[in-house]
Amino acid sequence: MASDIPNKLQLQIVSAERSIVDATVDEVEIPGAEGYFGVLPGHTPLLALLGTGELWYRHGGETHFISLSGGFAEVQPDRVTILAQIAERADEIDVARAEAARRRAEERLASPQPDMDFERARVALMKSLIRLQVASRARVRG
């Protein structure tokens, strides 16, 4: 019976523009809309909304990081499919651009205008912080 449980996961991450990841992995941690959740081979099937956050996946001793925002995750016992609105690998993130976006969002939140969309500014700040966090992972590893 135990031999029916897969020992690897096929991970596919696709954004609106392109395929980001297509790899065989040992485990994945996903930023769901209700919080982070881990997936190992043999996981119960589920469909989840994605939040904004850092996805990581491990293959052997190597861990990879992806910045994600919005979309869906489909989990099957032997595969995980991520359809993200925005997805970037750590080494692809433009740190200067992310820093500028963080500063703009912080300035908007520090001096709100009467017609400002507070939630949009908060989400922009969160996205820029996640991008900077994921980018720092590439610098630490490289």
Domains of the chain: 2-90 (2.60.15.10), 94-141 (1.20.5.440)
Query: Which tokens hold the place of 77?
Result: 């016992």
SS (H, E, C) 8-70: CEEEEEECCCCEEEEEEECEEEEEECCEEEEECCCCCCEEEEECEEEEEEEECCEEEEEEEEE
Name the pLDDT band for 2 (thresholds 50, 70, 90). Answer: low
**pLDDT digits over 55-92, tens only?**
999 999 999 999 999 999 999 999 999 999 999 999 99
pLDDT computed for residue 142 by the predictor: 42
Contact call for residues 21 and 56 (beta carbons, < 8 A): no
Name the pLDDT band for 14 (thresholds 50, 70, 90). Answer: very high
Q: Taking the model in full, what pTM does it have? A: 0.85
